[in-house]
Amino acid sequence: MFTTASLGIYDLLPATAGSLAQALHLNADALQRLLDANVGLSLLEKRGEAYYNQPVADTYLRKDSPHSVIGYVLYSDRALYPMWGHLEEAVREGTHRWQQTFGTAGPIFDHFFRTEEDLRTFIMGMHGFGVLSSPEVVKAFDLSRFHRLVDLGGATGHLVIAACESYPHLRGEVFDLERVIPVAKEMVAQSPAADRITCVAGDFFQGELPESDLYSLGRILHDWSEPKIELLLRRIHDRLPRGGGLLIAERLLNDDKSGPMNALMQSLSMLICTEGKERTLEEYRALLMDAGFGKVEGKITGRAVDAILCEKL
């Protein structure tokens, strides 16, 4: 799947193996074997000599699909997959593998996001995940008492969009790095709630956070070590009014860490590519209470991420 996506084949179907091989300058026999393997994986189907996308490939593996996760697939192919080859060293040393794999000691995502196109492709891949999971996250709790939601590190704004579309009185703000904001504005503009959503550039580790009675962190905390999480949570707590809330979207491990499997594998992935890991609800509760929060509740959503809501007492 990674190789087929990297070659752009899902965007070119239907087509025959011969015409694809000629257009992409590939070995015809090798390409046919790749396409047949996709058929075996139920990603493609073959009608006569032509190959067609199955609905799952059309929905998630074409760049022009509104639900595409192709950016994350390409990131997995070009960044995660090579680093997984160094899992043994990661386990020995307890550190990510960016420098060992790519020879860079800079910020961990800089290697993959060298161009604006790379950044956009990844962000839109994460947008595909968000479109699937964010509606369930914002419905996990009753958010009707809140008036303004600021999503810190909000990327394309999928969580803010889902919240504002679910709560007609709610106003929202996407807060992310400056280079992300143009993509966020583009996605927000497509929402019927666009007139209640703004996009603002900033760094949640530095400078003053926007004023709000509800903040959200979607797939942010699992990137970072405990000291950085503690810093961020205290910044949010200090900025909130009494009774204000923090909504967190992360995969939750079982209390005994026996599963679920996707969270266990994600935690290993975080080991090789970030400073962070996946955690149990009790581990998040401890971090949140240390920062001054109370009334910590968790809900399993059945989607790619689960939901936690806590309150400043």
The catalytic residue positions are: 222
User: Which amino acid makes up residue 264?
Assistant: L
User: Which amino acid makes up residue 261?
Assistant: M
Between CA 148 and CA 128 the distance in angstroms is: 24
Q: The tokens of 226 are what?
A: 């405990």
| Residue 249 C-beta-side C-alpha neighbours within 13 Å | 31
Strand partners for 16: 50
**Which of 24, 219, 195 minimizes the C-alpha distance to 132?**
219
Report the SS3 class of residue 16.
Answer: strand
Q: Do 310 and 281 touch, CB atoms closer than 8 A?
A: no
Between CA 105 and CA 97 the distance in angstroms is: 10
Between CA 61 and CA 9 the distance in angstroms is: 9
CB atoms closer than 10 angstroms to residue 261: 8
Between CA 164 and CA 194 the distance in angstroms is: 9
Between CA 175 and CA 180 the distance in angstroms is: 9
CB atoms closer than 10 angstroms to residue 243: 12
